[in-house]
Amino acid sequence: MSADARIFIVDDDDAVRDSLELLLRSSGFETIVAYASARDFLAEAAPMPGECLLLDVRMPDMDGLELQEELNRRGIKLPVIIMTGHGDVPISVRAMKAGAMDFIEKPFSDELLIDCVRRARRQAEEARREGAEVEDVRRRLQILTPREREVLQGMIAGQPNKLIAHALGISPRTVEIHRARVMDKMAARSLSALVRMALAAGIEPA
Q: Give the mean pLDDT of 111-124.
A: 89
Kindly tell me if the per-residue pLDDT of 171 is higher than 90. yes
pLDDT of residue 37: 95
Q: Crossing angle of helices 191-200/110-142, nearest 10°?
A: 110
Kindly tell me if the per-residue pLDDT of 3 is higher than 60. no
Q: For the range 180-189, what are the long-range contacts, defined as Cβ-Cβ under 8 Å and sequence gap of 24 or more?
A: 181/148, 182/144, 182/148, 182/151, 182/152, 182/155, 185/140, 185/143, 185/144, 185/148, 186/137, 186/140, 186/141, 186/144, 186/152, 187/140
pLDDT of residue 65: 87
> Which of the listed ranges 59-63, 69-73, 146-150, 187-191 does the model predict with the highest average pLDDT?
146-150
Kindly tell me if the per-residue pLDDT of 4 is higher than 70. no
pLDDT of residue 14: 94
* Identity of the amino acid at 90: P
pLDDT of residue 12: 93
pLDDT of residue 55: 93
Query: Across all residues in the chain, what is the average pLDDT?
Result: 88
Domain boundaries defined on the chain: 7-130, 143-200
**Phi-psi bin for 2: left (phi > 0), alpha (psi -120 to 50), beta?**
beta
Q: How many helices (H) and strands (E) does the chain have?
A: 9, 5
pLDDT in tens, 19-37: 999 999 999 988 899 999 9
Kindly tell me if the per-residue pLDDT of 86 is higher than 80. no
pLDDT classification of 149: cutoffs 50, 70, 90 = very high
SS3 3: coil
Q: Which helix (H) or strand (E) holds 103?
A: strand 102-105
CATH 3.40.50.2300 matches 7-130:
yes
User: How close are the terminal C-alpha atoms of the chain, in Å?
Assistant: 38
88 versus 99: the higher-pLDDT residue is: 99
**Options 3.40.50.920, 3.40.50.10210, 3.30.10.20, 1.10.10.10; which CATH number does 143-200 get?**
1.10.10.10
8 versus 75: the higher-pLDDT residue is: 8
